[in-house]
Structure 1
Amino acid sequence: MGYWGTLIAVQSNGRNLAALTDRSAELRVDGSARRGDGWQVYSLPDNLVVGDTDGALPRLVKESDAPVVAAYVADSDYGQLAGLSPVHGQWETWLDANTARRFERDYLVMKGMSKADADRQAQQMIAGFGLPPAEAAKRATQWAREAGYAVPAGPIRQVLASRRPPGASALLRLPWKRYVFAEEMFFALLDNLGLPRVVND
């Protein structure tokens, strides 16, 4: 079974932030999650990207006085991403919209809907959330500048436009379009936003 939950990158500088402690968020200390410049990655089971009724992410921005980026990951297959910052506000996009569409379509078919209707409804779900990769990448560069990093939009767009092909066909794709888990897309996005990794001793 894959990972379900929200991953949050925040420049906490080691502080305990109430928006995280109130929800018993866990600090991620695995290799890909370890970041420098005071950035830390937290994990919690709730979906804070969609249905964040108490405004935990905006609270984090206010508490840290810095940009925050979060992704709700569904069974390691796809994710819903949100970036927030004090000046430029909030933007959202999918991590692997194609896989999200297929999962929603197949679920609706399993519930008895025709494949054509299910595909149409799944497409509407995708269109109803966030920005397409190119537009989201532009907003992401603004997010990065506000965080203190000057980064190009191209690599970010490549991450956001990547998808997980089934089976051995994954090996035929270019490296930046190849991944196994949606969490890997999130950590690749952090790399391209400029958040430095901490090298293991």
Structure 2
Amino acid sequence: MGFSGHLVFARSNRPLLEAPVFDSVNEELKTAVRTWESRPGGWQTLRCDVGTWDDADLAALVGWSRAPACVADLSDSSLALVTGLDTTGLRWQAWLNLDIAARVLVEEPEDIDDQLLWLDSPEFHEAVRRKRVELDAEIPADAEGAVAWAAAAGVPVTPQTGRIEELLRSHETFAEDLFSALLDELGFPRAAQPSPQA
């Protein structure tokens, strides 16, 4: 079983867990929030188990840190939806492990009696193919959004949009690895040590 939860990436001179956004998390659940990776310049990633992070928390974190932040919503380590937000309110999103995302995002017809038969049908595979094409068409805009977000974060190098597109089309066993690679490609300082596998 892989990790399901959130990887929260933001910059602060203080531990991210001190952000007011985590004040509402009860003490028992706070043990499910821990440092996952640290990068030079105050960039930190927290690993939050399911139930400790809400979509609205990203804006609150950006307001507190006064810096762009992003979060990867992971499902069983196999895919992730990354959402970034800068201090002006501009958002971007991108899927990691697109083939798996396409399978998950395909809507099941209402008249299906047996889900296993549907998942093995030519109609399902065609629906996945169409969804994959649809997601692939969004990649250039997703990559541009990510590069603009990194620029707003003040990264010292200019990321190559083509490299970001290539990464968004790639596949890794662990979506966490793709998330770290995305931050590397966007020009954020690299982590001193490899992140622990979730």
State the TM-score, normalizing by the size of structure 1: 0.74
The structural deviation recorded for 1:9 is 0.4
| Structure-2 change in CA distance of 1:125 and 1:194 (3 Å) | same
- Which structure: larger Rg? 2
Q: Which residue of 2 aligns with 1:92?
A: 93
Q: Deviations over 1:3-36 (max 9, x none)?
A: 111101011222410113433362324xxx2211
Residue of structure 2 equivalent to 1:138: 144
Contact 1:105/1:119 (<8 A) preserved: no
Deviates more, 1:40-49 or 1:66-75: 40-49
Q: CA shift at 1:116, angstroms?
A: 4.6
- Counterpart of 1:75, as a letter, is D
Partner of 1:79: 80
Is this contact kept in 2: 1:96–1:160, CA < 8 A? yes
Counterpart of 1:43? 47
Query: Which SS does the other structure have where 2:59 is aligned?
Result: helix
- For 2:48 and 2:34, the matched residues in 1 are separated by 9
Q: In the alignment, is the contact (CA less than 8 A) between 2:38 and 2:44 conserved in 1?
A: yes
Gaps of 5+ in 2: 194-198
Residues 133 and 77 (structure 1 numbering): CA distance in 2 closer, same or farther, change over 3 Å? Answer: same
Opposite residue 142 of structure 1, the aligned amino acid is A
Displacement of 1:157 in angstroms is 1.5
Q: Distance in 1 between matches of 2:85 and 2:176?
A: 19
TM-score by length of 2: 0.75
* Alignment of 1:190 onto 2:162: no
What is the percent sequence identity of the aligned residues?
28
- Matches of 1:10 and 1:127, distance apart in 2: 32
Shift of the alpha carbon at 1:181?
0.7
| Structure 2 partner of 1:28 | 35
How many residues are matched?
179
| Equivalent residues of 1:27, 1:40 under 8 A apart | no
Provide the alpha-carbon RMSD of the alignment. 3.3
Q: Is the 8 A contact 1:92 1:131 kept in 2?
A: no
Q: Structure 1 residue 92: deviation in Å?
A: 1.1
